Chain A
Amino acid sequence: MQGNEACVEAALAAGLGFYAGYPITPSTEIAELLAERLPRAGGVFIQMEDEIASMAAVIGASLAGARAMTATSGPGFSLKQENIGYAAITETPCVVVNVQRVGPSTGLPTSPAQGDVMQARWGTHGDHPIVALTPASVLETYVLTMKAFAIADALRVPVILLTDEITGHMRERVVLPEPEPLPRPGRSRDGGRGNGQTYDVPPMRHFGEGRRLLVTGLYHDESGFWTESPEAADRMIRRLVNKVERRKAELTLVDRWYLDDARVAVVAYGCVSRSALRAVRQARSRGHRVGLLRPACLWPFPDHEIEAIAGTVEAIVVPEMNLGQIAGEVERAAAGRCRVIRYNRVDSELIRPDELLPVLEGA
């Protein structure tokens, strides 16, 4: 099956209750398949009037108790940003799939890119928490979609599944894991509104439970009511950001290949990491001590993993299908302890192993 299909399988296995979307290539298969299958599973699919409305409806459904997601691509991801920020400040769990294509604007429809990495982190205005996972295979699209729902619920954050046209449309033979029920944490029935208790991640409440909630995109205090108090505002936004940042270690997902004796490390993610692994193996077979670090969770960024290798290698090569969005993060984390070499393509073509090989050998 293809990556977009694996995403659908995982969402259904996770107990998806609501999907709202808008047609956009290369993510449309996700909507089409869920239109067919979600009502059969008892959930609701709706094609909304636009991308903005899709994101809003997903948040509304989540607040009403449904596990909810949407899927989109470049231009649609841009349009969803304001309401992604709303999900972040209101701590509404939801999953947003972005099958990346070449941008900006309509760009090169609909060829692959990794140009939305920074938009996934900083696309909405203001400081905010976000988690972004990036799969490199069809099977991993399944696994990370499941994980996205689990993280969204556990931390009450929007989770971005940052896939790309290659991973979304690539077909691979996969054996899906046995579906396991995904429990919904944080839904204890104790406590009430405004009980003065402070939480790291507050228990999730839903509409229709008789709690008379106020959910607002304004800065609010622990009771949920809006506030202009600088102290309460500071407390709220730091808690929101820190609930993700302080869990960086447990959110980190990395694969390591041949790093123990590596003189040069490649840091690559998504579709490019597969070319990188092949190039690394070729370089190894030619006697070069080269390794690969592949983060599957880009946000929060695994600084500690970069710091660890920066102290042991002479250079880190960062191949990306953008002009260096993660390379800047790698440079920041490496903090001058090793050279950071960028290798970038933004012409819609996948970075190939054979073009990476000389970069690794010359590093």
Chain B
Amino acid sequence: MQVTDWLRTDHLPHIWCTGCGHGTVLGALIRAMEKAGVDRDRTVAVSGIGCSSRAVGYLDMDTLHTTHGRALAFATGIKLARPDLKVIVLAGDGDLAAIGGNHLIHAARRNLGITTICLNNGIYGMTSGQLSPLTPGGYRTTTSPHGHLERDFDLCRLVQAAGATYVARSTSYHVQQTILLLSRALAHDGFAFVEVFSQCPTYFGRRNRMGDPVAMLEWLRDSTVPAGQAARMTPEELRGRWIIGELHRATDVPEYSRSYRRLIDRLRGADGGPDAPGAVEGTPLPEQHPDVEAARAD
């Protein structure tokens, strides 16, 4: 398998900066799709706005490049209209943790079968380096020139609490692990979330004097701890380090689009199928329809 088999090579070179980690993550996703046996003609990749979202332009499959933060909401419509399609969301940290945070927690809550990949470089790259909710504490950006005072999200814990049934984290340094985790996420039946730390040497690295892209990859390596090793470490030892690996997996929660199909089947079965009264044609409305006057409120 060549990675380029999955790419619209006529639209390369890509727009990403030299040393950006996003290409590494895209390559890992392609290898993971190959590994998981994804049928690309029955798969849709959806993205929002930002550097990472341009990835869908290069993937040679059905792709949807949407509005800022809304990739998961668009993906929800696709998955519910066509539950047989595999739906992948590729989004940045600004997309998922800031403007699209509401969609993230609700997609997780529903356990809708979408494989969501957060390419987290901790910065708004497309707009040249502003603060993100995932910018680590103390780091400088163009909108936190004095070092920022906010706390950053632990996005994996957030989506797990919201109801995601597969949660994992990796980095662009840990390529083989990223491939493995993404392939498991793709095979998972439910809302799967993989956060992949990615380096932005142009805006994050330069402003924080982190050196070249290789130095940033070493920073990613040194600031992360595999989940197994983390289990044997004290809170003091873990301070300032991110746990990578498979963080959560649940298999006892029904996937939402199939639950909805079962509801349709049950209702249509109970009604005797599509030709039954009340199914399609203009038949009397249900008795329990609320009185309009009583419903006058905000």
What is the interface of chain A, defined by CB distance below 8 A to chain B?
1-2, 5, 9, 12-13, 15, 17-18, 20, 24-26, 28-29, 32-33, 36-37, 39-44, 46, 48-50, 52-54, 56-66, 68, 82-83, 86, 106, 109-110, 169, 176, 179, 207-208, 210-218, 225-226
Contacts and interface: CB of A to CB of B under 8 A. Distances in A.
Contact of B292 (A49, A50, A169, A214): A169
Given A208-B44, A211-B62, A214-B63, A39 B260 contact: yes
B86 to A, nearest CB: 10
Contacts of B295: 25, 28-29
A207 B290 contact: no
A63 B106 CA distance: 22
A52 B285 CA distance: 29
Nearest to B80: A44
Interface in B46-83: 46, 56-57, 60-67, 70, 73-78, 80-82
B65 A53 contact: no
Contacts of A15: 280
B281 interface: yes
B81 A86 contact: no
A221 to B, nearest CB: 11
For the complex of A and B, list the 7 residue pairs with the smallest distance between their C-beta atoms, beginning with the closest.
A60-B77, A56-B73, A57-B77, A61-B77, A53-B73, A61-B81, A60-B74
A144 B53 CA distance: 38
Interface stretch (B132-140, B237-245, B266-274): B266-274
Given A39-B260, A83-B67, A212 B61 contact: yes
27 contacts: A15-B280, A17-B81, A20-B76, A28-B295, A39-B260, A40-B264, A41-B274, A42-B274, A44-B80, A44-B264, A52-B70, A53-B70, A59-B66, A59-B74, A61-B81, A64-B44, A64-B82, A65-B82, A110-B298, A207-B78, A208-B42, A208-B62, A212-B60, A212-B61, A212-B63, A216-B57, A225-B8
B150 interface: no
A42 B261 CA distance: 9
A57 B74 contact: yes
Interface of B: 8, 11, 40-42, 44, 46, 56-57, 60-67, 70, 73-78, 80-82, 84-85, 102-103, 106, 260, 263-264, 267-268, 271, 274, 276, 278-282, 285-286, 289-290, 292, 295-298
Nearest to B102: A49
A83 B292 CA distance: 30
Contacts of A64: 44, 77-78, 81-82, 85
Contacts of B280: 12-13, 15, 41, 179
B282 A40 contact: no
A66 B81 CA distance: 6
Contacts of A214: 8, 56-57, 63, 65
